Copies of this chain bind each other. A is one copy, B any other.
Amino acid sequence: MTQAVRHDSMRARNLGVVLGEVRRSGPITRAALAEITGLTKTTVSKMVGDLLGAGMVTESGALRDGERGRPGTAVGLSGHRVAALGLEINVDYLSVCVVDLTLSVRLRRTQAVDNRAALPVETLAHLQELAHRVVDEARSEGLAVAGSTLAVPGPVDDGLLHAAPNLGWHDVRVGDLLDFPVAVENEANLAALGELWFGSGPSDFLHVSGEIGVGAGLVVGGALFRGARGLAGELGHVIVSPDGPACRCGGRGCLEQYAGQEALLRAAGLDGVPELVAALQAGESGALRACERAGRALGVALTSAVHLMDPGTVVLGGVFAPLFPWIHGPAVETMTARLARMRHAVPELTVSRLGGDAASLGAAGQVIHRIIADPGAHLAATTARPASEPR
């Protein structure tokens, strides 16, 4: 149910609106904030004062724009105090990053670990140690880590990792294995949010994150679409051909059997993405054929996805990013042939500028995003317990 607005929640919400506008419109004067939000200058001034006190914004000096009249002092987000921890567990690495309120990446650590062989407890002990080291380092830079999110390669429902087939994990309450509070979320979803906040693209897109599996995260109007149980976006198991090769999901002809990393490498007869890229650059016909086949299959699956979800754009990330030049053509061709007559504009197919860090960046970004949306809650939490430890 939508909750009633009371005096205190009105204040909290308006604080969020003001801070959100500071983020959106860069350094901006109080007067302009008042204009945009519809609040009075008085109210905005008081709020900016509070936010300054909390170290969430800074005055970046007088803003002289040549106009007549008293120049305003611009206030912008401050990257000096509040920060967030982003974590990622994937098949062959652990990754940790610290991001400040301005979404600048302050620290980043990746550690190659083969987690296929490991139990959840072992992997998470590893991750915890890594996290503590990074948080200590951040603290020595004056940053207060306000929260953390963990990206995992599998569907998550309310903190429970339902299944991570490529890790061999099932029904793990990942958050309970760490000694600090953490939000847990699907890797594909967070990669999409990473693309939203750290890539400079649009705010409506489907982000395809091909790793070992093929996942996708849909962002509409700047918000992630999760479906009824948070399991949306399984592009890898969209049916390309109902009588195609059997898939580990129990179905046949899933996209993963045509465009998954494994299928691609098998079709090309190679055993690594770097090798495949080299072969493609050398113009080897086997590699080229494999990519064309994958591209066409991706085009078929994306056609279904566009009809169902109507994304504004499609962004290819993960392993598809380095293969983009060879996949793009056949995929777009397939989509155009099947979509053009139904839609004014066939969604553009672009490539992600982010590397494999998209998910952990998205994880940290989610924490920052929540703080900006409700700075009052963060303020209350930090004044009640002035320290910064997530431990």
Residues of A at under 8 Å CB distance from B? Answer: 1-6, 10, 13-14, 16-18, 20-21, 24, 36-39, 162-163, 204, 216, 220-221, 225-235, 237-243, 248-252, 300-301, 303-305, 307-312, 337-344
Contact = CB atoms under 8 A, between A and B. Distances in A.
The number of times this chain is found in the oligomer is 2
Contact of A307 (B4, B234, B338): B234
A239 B303 contact: yes
B1 A24 contact: yes
9 contacts: A6-B38, A216-B308, A227-B311, A228-B310, A229-B312, A234-B342, A238-B308, A248-B341, A304-B308
Given A304-B308, A308-B235, A39 B338 contact: no
Contact of A16 (B2, B6, B233): B2
A237 B311 CA distance: 15
B309 A227 contact: yes
Nearest to A220: B228
Contacts of A228: 204, 220-221, 310-312
For the complex of A and B, 8 pairs with smallest distance between CB atoms = A227-B310, A251-B338, A228-B312, A204-B228, A250-B341, A234-B307, A232-B310, A231-B310
Contact of A4 (B14, B232, B235, B251): B14
Contacts of A37: 3-4
With a 10 A CB-CB cut-off, give which of A5, A249, A307, A341 has the most chain B CB atoms.
A307
Given A17-B2, A39-B6, A241-B241, A343 B231 contact: yes
A2 B14 CA distance: 9
A159 B251 CA distance: 41
Given A220-B227, A309-B232, A309-B308, A239 B338 contact: yes
Contacts of A311: 227-228
Contacts of A163: 342
